[in-house]
A and B are shown apart, each in its own frame.
Chain A
Amino acid sequence: MSAGPRSVVVVGGGSVAWIAALALRRTFRHLPLDVTVLDTGPDATGPRVHWTLPSQRGAHAQLGVGEGEFLRATGATFRLASEHTGWQGGERRYVHAHGEIGTPIDVTPFYKWIVERTLAGKTERAEDWSIAALAARNGRFAQPMGAEKELTASFTYGFHVDERAYATFLRSAADRGGVRRIVGTLADVQRAADGRVETLRLADGGQVSADFFVDASGAGALLMSRVDDTPRLDWRRWFPCDRAIAGLAPGEVDPAAMTRTLAGDNGWSWRVPLMGATAVGGYHASAFGGDDALRAGLERVAPGLRDVAVVPVTAGRRQKFWVNNCVALGAAAVELEPLAGAHLHLAQLGLAAFMELFPLDSHPAAEAAEYDAQMAAYADRLRDFTLAHYRAGPRRPGAFWDAVHAEPLPDSLAAKLDPWRASGRLTIADFETFEETDWAWLLIGAGDRPQALELRVADEVRKLLPVEAESLRQTIARLASSMPRHGDFLRRLHAR
């Protein structure tokens, strides 16, 4: 019916490219739309593994991919939470789980009760009020169940998955779904007089033409870098880490369904359980230490490390995400350390926005403007949440951390933290990936303490009787400890 694109070429070979291609193919299968991936191979500078948000489950549903099939094919594990250690100095550690903290007191979120208790001088940890957090820390896992308001349904989960295994798995799903694949290296881009891309020329002399192009080639932005010379917005002043290292260590028998991060002198490291292996890695600022020290540090915490690679990273984002007939997805659009586990999520937000704005003709300028505005907002909000890990709570000492803290916060993050610090109030803006509860996990966990609590809220939470609180705590602990071991759960799943 429309004069929209009849062919789309997705450039890239990583999971983002395959997700985009298959989603486009499935969503518009009623249209005469041909979807081709120009497979430029794995994204060498992208994340080695992903720790994903629960939204990845929705993505799989959209792609027609079964969860068991996915887990068995990729050796992925479940993820209930992250545990962050040392970000505020010393051994302080806290959990950010994919689940509720307690249950609302009438209509007031339970985390306000924790704030109130903290202000009264009591020690309360958010994780003691979350099934997901307790299960994650104790190596347990089960899927949520029961009616919406029940405690057993008060959490959700994401995954840990190896990027290459995931890309391979998605590639075969895309192949079955009718996505065409051309393997090649992009050599040149042929554009029409109006700037639209017409044809991609390949290094082997071949070429591929299409009406529309998606650049999912990773931070190198193979296509977008040739059609858009608007300077990238540089985020390095907030995120000074410019090296990423990753490798594989022997697996654990009984891994926790949890991502671990550890703040270090010159950056931070992470640890992710996979079936049969543990992936470890880190982000590091070269101005504060060399690559050798980085590698040695990682080998100390993960003996038997293999497949180690160090790649450069540059935090920042594009200003334009949609130019003429090209859009950028994933790291081609936004490069940000995946501390919050939202790397794939952000790519999917872009994909969803693109499909909602899918061109109806050959001059989609209004769509491009809307897309740019939405993507900029999504990216900036995610930057803020990621940055809050560094900036919330007491400061970790050291030259790297002094430099991190010396940089003024983005206005939007200050606008978030100021009301919190004044009165425990959290306001969630449009286009935020993370919700009120996520911010509460992070800020309470980091020990970022409000000076006071809103009067009305303080009154509300005091209605919770100590005996009721104790009963809730016990119920949550009992439910968490009744879950199977995560390792057993995975082994049973793989035996099926």
Chain B
Amino acid sequence: MNSAPPLRLVIVGGGTAGWMTAAAFAATLRPDQCEVRLIESSEIGIVGVGEATLPHIRFFNRRIGIDERELMAHTHATFKLGIEFVNWARLGDSYIHPFGAYGTRAGGVSFHNFWLRRRRAGDTTPIEDYSLPIVASRRNRFSLPSEDTTSLSSTFGYAFQFDASLYAQYLRGFAEQRGVKRTDAKVVDVALRGEDGFIESIKLDSGETVAGDLFIDCSGFRGLLIEQALKTGYDEWTRWLPCDRAVAMPCENAGPLTPYTRATAREAGWQWRIPLQHRTGNGYVYSSKFISDDEAGAKLSSRLDGKALADPRFLRFTAGRRRKTWNRNCVAIGLAGGFLEPLESTSIHLIQVAITTLIDYVTPGRAFDPRTVEAFNRWIEMEYDRVRDFLILHYHATERDDAPLWNYCRTMDIPDSLKHKMELFRRRAQVVQYKDGLFLEPSWLAVYFGQRVMPDGYDPRADATPRPDLDGWMTTMRDRIDTAVNQMPDHETFLAQYCPSGARA
């Protein structure tokens, strides 16, 4: 089984998706198993704006052997403990979606039920106080989680906020060292095989023809291979996620470096703020139905922390998913595969899921078994659909009536799957559970509570503990979090000794 010729993998498009794919394949498979080529044109810009990530990226890094400190220094990265959402349910509101659970379960009952019990009895302690990563975020503290899994300080995760162009650049170096061949050229033509419509080769503007076994389309929204050549089709979700434009503009840092990303709801969408070591990334994601490009750009530049460092850059997109992520011998990864706005920092995660799943599915000579392809597509679909429902919740569960976008979202019809989830939560504080997919109970809780979806009831089993025991348990929990956070260093101080910008590990 080792005699099969190496799989010829051709990646079209650099950028985050392209170089993540190249790096992962080159690091995971041997050159006699897989030859990786990446075609990108230095004339075509990449979308890579500042990126906030999710803790899962650390699995990806570890799996392919990336040194975290070196990566962070190279990309001017900061740490991220969660996302702060401002103005989402009502103007003036703020909540944090943390990378970690609230409190601890007891007797098979999730912590929030005990919190709700005390709340009903008049206790006003916010649920935030029972989350170590939120308390740390509010105080701008950070340290790495403890490796002792019995310790409170091990009960959170972290991710990075970094410069995505530098991330792609870093991965390019990593991939090229491992034998990935890069070609600077544009694709001018795609040749399909007569018998089955598979991609046989692509023609470059240099005149070269590149043949391959498996083509990865990382060409961005336009989907050069998956759509333009293979006409795969796209399921559009604009009726639930109406934002279709973004404008990005970095600015100078001002104030402390926050260990979290901020998403502030605005009149026609929302604004991101991603603090890096050397600058702050900003952007306004908006719906073109409710605001013009010029106005959005003007609004964004008037709402920066510090001095703007570049002209506004505009992007267009359509929320949705390619009907088949893997079609014939082409897999669409990144924006070519689908687009969900970066409200929950899922872009890199969805790339990562596609890559790691794909690598696992590659077998000698059988990379295109239709059963494999179907299983792969089902998996990716599920990931997208579950993220979709979670994003819609942010828009729909609002009391805001001060702008047409919010009136639309508040009153729009939502997918039945989300309707059911919300009803069960409203009735009894129950989060519909699933094992697979990205966002689990703590995430849903953060957003429900943060968006003022307050349940009428809770799990009756939470009433079994006698009240004095419950009070003592919860007070101790809060005190321990408070103490643990006070022992953590300041985020900026930690960064300066751990991975200062430009330092070599």
Contact = CB atoms under 8 A, between A and B. Distances in A.
Contact of A457 (B360, B423, B427): B360
A366 B369 contact: no
Interface residues of A, number: 40
B177 to A, nearest CB: 19
A455 interface: yes
A427 B372 CA distance: 12
Interface size class on chain B is 35 or more
B421 to A, nearest CB: 9
Interface stretch (B197-205, B285-293, B373-381): B373-381
A429 B436 contact: yes
Interface string B227-242: 0000000000000000
B375 A415 contact: yes
Among A28, A419, A430, max chain B CB count under 10 A is at A419
Contacts of B29: 455-456, 459
A454 B363 contact: yes
A457 B359 CA distance: 10
B464 A30 contact: yes
Contact of B460 (A28, A369, A423, A459): A28
Interface in B415-460: 420, 423-424, 427-428, 430, 432, 434-436, 456-457, 459-460
Contacts of B378: 415
A459 B424 CA distance: 46
A120 B371 CA distance: 23
A356 B1 contact: no
Contacts of B68: none
Interface string B52-69: 000000000000000000
Nearest to B419: A366
Nearest to A419: B375
A120 B1 CA distance: 8
Given A358-B460, A419-B372, A422-B372, A454 B379 contact: no
Nearest to A1: B463
Contacts of B420: 366, 369-370
Nearest to A365: B423
B424 A366 contact: yes
B361 interface: yes
A455 B427 contact: no
Contacts of A451: 363, 366
B424 A370 contact: yes
A419 B373 CA distance: 9
28 contacts: A1-B463, A30-B463, A119-B1, A358-B459, A358-B461, A360-B428, A360-B460, A366-B427, A370-B420, A370-B432, A415-B374, A415-B375, A415-B378, A418-B374, A418-B375, A419-B361, A421-B371, A422-B366, A423-B361, A423-B363, A429-B436, A452-B366, A455-B29, A455-B34, A456-B29, A456-B362, A459-B30, A459-B33
Given A367-B427, A425-B375, 19 more contacts: A30-B463, A31-B460, A120-B1, A360-B427, A366-B420, A366-B424, A366-B427, A367-B424, A370-B424, A370-B432, A415-B378, A419-B371, A421-B371, A427-B379, A430-B435, A454-B363, A456-B362, A457-B360, A459-B33
